[in-house]
Amino acid sequence: MASLSDVVMNPEAQRFELTAGGATAFAEYGLRNGDMLLPHTLVPEAMGGQGIGGLLAQAALGYAREHGLKVKPTCSFMAGYITKHPEWRDVVHPHYRARLGLPD
């Protein structure tokens, strides 16, 4: 079973990645002016149902928290993950916090 330690940051491709069984799941990111844009997450069908998307989200959000970045989750998966895990609301950009219905 995959764990958070299996997720690697690939700055050249601007994504967090987890590779297992010859397949790679990833969460794309972009950094700009103290913000981290999270536009797209992909978990191949063969890797589905194993919590891989959640591990990618935790890695990206943890990186943002460690580096004082504010997250702009334009990816529907990331937005949904944050909504279900409000303990990450402190890293969400205030504009997106309002969009997701998270308290300040």
State mean pLDDT over 53-68.
Answer: 98
Q: Please give the mean pLDDT across all residues of the chain.
A: 95
Beta carbons of 56 and 49 less than 8 angstroms apart = no
The domain segmentation of the chain, as residue ranges, is 4-100
Distance, in Å, from the CA atom of 70 to the CA atom of 84, rounded to the nearest integer, reads 18
Query: What is the average per-residue pLDDT within 49-74?
Result: 97
Q: How confident is the model at residue 29 (pLDDT cuts 50, 70, 90)?
A: very high
Q: Which fold has domain 4-100?
A: Aminopeptidase (3.40.630)
Structure tokens at 96: 């997106």
Query: pLDDT for 69-101, tens place per residue?
Result: 999 999 999 999 999 998 999 999 999 999 998
Q: Say whether 74 sits in a helix, a strand or coil.
A: coil
Q: Has residue 104 got a pLDDT over 80?
A: no
Q: What distance in Å separates the CA atoms of residue 70 and residue 61, rounded to the nearest whole number?
A: 9
